[in-house]
Amino acid sequence: MNKQGFTLTELLITVVIVGILVSIALPMYTRTIERSRATEAMAAIKAMNDSIYAFFIEREACPTRFSQLAITVEDANDADNADNTIETKFFRFDLAGSPVSVPGTDCNGILATRIHGGNYQYEIWNPYTRGTTGNSLALQCAPVEGINGAALEKSRAVCESLGLFREENLGATGGSGTTGSFSGKAGITGPVEKIVYEGTIQEKNTSVDETKKTVK
């Protein structure tokens, strides 16, 4: 019986091969996980902006805190609902943080900023444009202003993997994650009977469902 074990050279080659495979697979895995988190944030933005629209139609005013909206966010601190920001494990949602208004309102939409993400530091928002269709209504994503190196590269890669990155969006939100002075602000003014919202036509009405929605 041959009881000879592996030689040192064979072990070293095995370790090198495993290391190469890990170095290739691990970034792909972490990016896939990050992409799924960003997708959840996108769904939350849509639901929150819907609630802002409903609030404005009923009261002709913009909400100033999340507790005024017919929506709750899972994993958010209950105390945050009395403020204009909500933090979950992975994102901070800023009320009126988007650089543009929700269609049919004078209210800026939601801005989601990645938090506690290490090298993942990006923002997602919806650049609503009145009376247009197609890509102009898609959610958009950009790295947080002021980052560089690995953080910039990885954040941009996530945005690109979602198909949300556009070069002109860099710095569009001012990098603050809060309301303030935005470049390229495109607020909607004047009466709007019908608006384009997330690719569908919606008519104004005063019937608002006050049932709280839950965003996961």
Structure tokens at 34: 């990050």
Is residue 190 domain-resident? Answer: yes
Is residue 163 domain-resident? Answer: yes
Is residue 209 domain-resident? Answer: no
Once rounded to an integer, what is the mean pLDDT over residues 176-198?
33
Is residue 176 domain-resident? Answer: yes
Q: Are 173 and 186 in contact (CB under 8 A)?
A: no
Confidence of residue 207 (pLDDT cuts 50, 70, 90): very low
For 96-106, write each residue's pLDDT tens digit: 898 888 888 88
Instruction: Say yes or no to pLDDT of 90 above 70.
Output: yes
Is residue 214 domain-resident? Answer: no
Once rounded to an integer, what is the mean pLDDT over residues 4-23?
85
For 133-182, write each residue's pLDDT tens digit: 443 456 789 999 899 999 999 999 999 988 888 776 666 665 443 333 23
Is residue 213 domain-resident? Answer: no
User: Looking at residue 158, what is its pLDDT?
Assistant: 92
Is residue 77 domain-resident? Answer: yes
For 163-175, write each residue's pLDDT tens digit: 888 776 666 665 4
For 41-80, write each residue's pLDDT tens digit: 999 998 999 999 999 999 999 999 988 988 877 766 655 5
How many CA atoms lie less than 13 Å away from 5 in the CB half-sphere?
2
Give residue 165's domain range: 8-204
- Residue-averaged pLDDT of the chain: 75
Q: Report the distance separating Cα 67 and Cα 62, nearest Å.
A: 13
- Residues sharing a CB contact under 8 Å with residue 53, sequence separation 6 or more, in sequence order: 102, 103, 104, 105, 197, 202
CB burial string 138-159: b at 16+ within 10 A, e below? bbbbbbbeebeeebbebbbbbb
Q: Name the domain count of the chain.
A: 1
Is residue 115 domain-resident? Answer: yes
